[in-house]
Amino acid sequence: MTAKTLTSGLVQTHPIPPAIADEIETFEQESKRLLSGEIVTDLFKPFRLQYGIYGQRQPGVQMIRIKIPFGGLNANQLRRVAELAERYATGVGHVTTRQDIQLHFVELKDVPDVMRGLAEVGLTTREACANTVRNVTGCHLAGVCQGEVFDITPYAKTVAYHLLRNPLNQSLPRKFKIAFSGCKHDCALTPIHDIGLLAVKREDGVIGFRMVAGGGLGSAPRIAQVLREFTPMNELIPSVEAVIKVFDTLGNRKNRNKARMKFVIDKLGFAEFKRRWEEAYVSMGHARPADDTLRLLEYEDKPAPLIMPEPVKSNRVSGNGRVNGSTEETPFDMWKRTNVVRQKQPGYVAAVVKLFMGDLTTDQMLVVSDLAERYSNGNIRTTINQNMIIRWIPESAIRGLYDDLASKGLADPGAELVEDIIACPGTDTCGLGITSSKGLARALAEVFPAGRVPEDLKDVSVKISGCHNSCAQHHIATIGLHGVGKRIGEHTAPFYELHLGGKVNGTAKIGQMTVKLPAKAVSAAITHLIDVYRRDRKPSEGLPAFIERVGKNALKDELIPYTIVPAFDDDPTFYYDWEGEEEFVLEDLGPGECAGGALEMIENGILEADQELYQARLLIDNHQYSVSVNKSYRAVLAAAKALLVTEGLEPSTDAETFGEFERRIASHGVVPGQYRELGKKVGDLGPKDTTLESAREKMAFAKGFVDACRAATEQMGKDLKLAPTAPAPTPAKPAAPVPTGAPLYDLRGVACPLNYVKTKLKLEMMDAGEKLEVWLDAGEPIKNVPMSLKNDGHLIHLQEALEPEAVHFRILVEKVE
Task: Give the confidence band of 304 by pLDDT, cuts at 50, 70, 90.
Answer: low
Segment 547-603, tens digit of pLDDT: 999 998 889 888 888 888 899 999 999 999 988 888 988 754 433 322 234 676 787
Identity at 303, one-letter amino acid code = P
CATH number of 426-575: 3.30.413.10
Class of residue 36 by CB neighbours under 10 A (exposed 0-12, middle 13-18, buried 19+) = exposed
Query: Which CATH code for domain 144-283?
Result: 3.30.413.10
Tell me the pairing of strands 508-509 and 512-518. Answer: unpaired
Predicted pLDDT at 416: 86
Q: How far apart are CA 467 and CA 432, in angstroms?
A: 7
Contact 625, 687 (CB under 8 A): no
Half-sphere exposure of 290 (CA within 13 A, CB side): 0
Please report the pLDDT score of residue 686 as a whole number: 52
Question: Regarding the domain with residue range 744-814, which homologous superfamily does it belong to in the CATH classification?
Answer: TusA-like domain (3.30.110.40)
Question: CATH says 598-714 is which class?
Answer: mainly alpha
CA distance 316 to 322: 11
The pLDDT > 90 percentage for the chain reads 51
The residue that leads in pLDDT, 719 or 406, is: 406
pLDDT tens for 357-392 read 899 999 999 999 999 999 999 999 999 999 999 999
Cβ contact 168:248 at 8 Å = yes
The pLDDT assigned to 736 comes to: 62
Determine how many CB atoms are found less than 10 A away from the CB of residue 781: 26
Question: CA dihedral in degrees (770, 774, 780, 784; nearest 10)?
Answer: 0
Mean per-residue pLDDT for 79-108? 96
CA dist 96 and 463 (Å) reads: 13
- Cross-strand pairs, 446: none
Burial class (CB in 10 A: 0-12, 13-18, 19+), 146: exposed
pLDDT at 408 exceeding the cut of 80 = yes
Phi and psi at residue 639, in whole multiples of 5°?
Answer: -70, -40
pTM above 0.75, yes or no: no
pLDDT of residue 781 exceeding 50: yes
Q: Which among 782, 761, 783 has a CA at the least distance from the CA of 772?
A: 761
**In which band, very low, low, confident or very high, does the pLDDT at 287 lie, cut at 50, 70 and 90?**
low
pLDDT digits (tens, 9 = 90+) for 615-646: 888 898 888 888 899 899 999 999 999 999 88
Tell me if 638 sits within 8 A of 610, measured CB to CB: no
Strand segments (E) across 586-703? none
The answer to whether 266 and 246 have CB atoms below 8 angstroms apart is no
Bond preceding residue 753 cis, omega within 30 of 0: yes
CA dist., res. 556 & res. 562, Å (int): 10
Contact in structure between 47 and 31 (CB atoms under 8 Å): no
pLDDT digits (tens, 9 = 90+) for 314-352: 333 333 444 444 457 899 999 999 999 999 999 999 999
Task: Check residue 767 and give its pLDDT.
Answer: 86
**Per-residue CA distances from 484 to 95, 434, 464, 556, 627 (Å):** 24, 6, 12, 18, 39
What distance in Å separates the CA atoms of residue 163 and residue 160, rounded to the nearest whole number?
6
What are the phi and psi torsion angles at 350 (to 5°)?
A: -120, 140
Taking CA atoms, 154 is separated from 150, 341, 344, 539, in Å, by 10, 22, 18, 44
* 444-486 residue pLDDT tens: 988 988 777 788 898 899 999 998 888 888 998 999 999 988 8
d(CA 740, CA 476): 46
Is the distance from CB of 57 to CB of 104 less than 8 angstroms?
no
Q: Which residues pair with 202 in a beta bridge?
A: none
Average pLDDT, the chain: 86
Instruction: Answer whether 144-283 and 426-575 agree in fold.
Output: yes
Distance (Å, whole) CA 277 – CA 775: 39
- Amino acid at position 699, single letter: M
Residue 479, Cα to own-chain centre: how many angstroms? 21
Pairwise CA distance, residues 164 & 703, whole Å: 27
Per-residue pLDDT, averaged over 258-271, amounts to: 91
Amino acid at 11: V
Of 211-215, 456-460, 731-735, 761-765, the least confident: 731-735
Beta bridge partners of 226: 212
Pick the CATH number of 303-416 from 3.40.718.10, 3.40.50.11890, 3.90.480.20, 3.30.300.20: 3.90.480.20
pLDDT (tens digit per residue) in 30-78:
999 999 999 888 889 889 999 999 988 788 899 999 999 999 999 999 9
What's the DSSP call for residue 28? H
| pLDDT higher at 218 or 817 | 218
Sign for the pseudo-dihedral over CA of 590, 592, 596, 602: positive
Are residues 123 and 73 in contact, defined by beta-carbon separation less than 8 angstroms?
yes
Quote the pLDDT of residue 600. Answer: 64
Question: Residue type at 134?
Answer: R
- 498 forms bridges with which residues in the sheet? 481, 515
Q: Average pLDDT for residues 300-327, to the nearest whole number? A: 48
For the chain, what are the domain ranges?
3-119, 144-283, 303-416, 426-575, 598-714, 744-814
SS (H, E, C) 267-280: HHCHHHHHHHHHHH
C-beta separation of 125 from 65 below 8 A: yes
The mean per-residue pLDDT over the stretch 89-94 comes to 95
Query: Does the pLDDT value for residue 86 go beyond 70?
Result: yes
Q: Please give the CATH number for the structural domain made up of 3-119.
A: 3.30.70
pLDDT of residue 728: 43
